[in-house]
Amino acid sequence: MPQPPAPRKAPGRPPRISREEVVGAARRIVAEEGVDRLTMRRLAAEIGSTPMALYHHVRNKEELLVLLLDDYAARTLHRPRLPAAPRERVVVAAAAIHEALAACPWIVEVLTADDLMSASALWFVEQIVDGLIACGLTPERAVHGYRAIWYYTAGEIVVRATAARRRADHDRPTYRERVFGDLDPGELPRLAGLAERWAPLTAEDTYLDGLRALVDGLVVTG
């Protein structure tokens, strides 16, 4: 983790704000007003400082967001008691990550990171990889399996969060509804038959079902 330069003999001016203070203020803004409102200017105002002062504690806005995700993970990602059966352990660990992230939809902007490599998430990754190995996968396949689970989990959150955002923004009929309006039952019989029930069906939360299917498939196939 990047640290501000070490305060050796403390020459020069004493700091008025700290990195923690910056991240804390950012957390408040996001919690109360949403990510969209988190701007360097707004953040500076919240702290009672200037936009430029922030750049002494944070490289740029992207780093601020990563820091914020870290902060959030450390705060909300509590380790659950895990079942002994390895396959179930994988499911529970993944579901715990999912639950924490799903509760904070703003994460989407940042989440699209490499992996979820927040330090506090590592324990969960360890559990998933270890559980998959205990199910008989090679370490290589276990890592790939973890990736697949992460893709599925991140995708669920991103798609769901964006759908929710759109619904909130403009209450007009969504693009999907318009497309679904006139389906040719000759060409697309299944979709035409399901058109009425599509919205409620896709509104259901089936994250866990899909996760179980994926883990089953990984364990059996692998």
Cβ closest to a copy of itself, residue 42 vs residue 212? 212
Stretch that binds DNA, among 34-42, 85-93, 98-106, 156-164 (CB under 7 A): 34-42
Q: Which of residues 175-194 bind DNA (CB under 7 A)?
A: none
Site residues (CB under 7 A) for DNA, limited to 66-95: none
Q: Is 51 in the site for DNA (CB under 7 A)?
A: yes
Taking the least distance from each CB to a copy of itself, the nearer of 32 and 114 is 114
Angle value at C-alpha 162, between 161 and 164, nearest 5 degrees: 65
Q: Binding string to a copy of itself for residues 140 to 169, with x set by CB under 8 A, is what? A: x-xxxx-xx-xxxxxxx-xx-xxx--x---
The answer to whether residue 122 forms part of the interface with a copy of itself (CB under 8 A) is yes
Q: For residue 7, state whether it binds DNA (rule: CB under 7 A).
A: yes
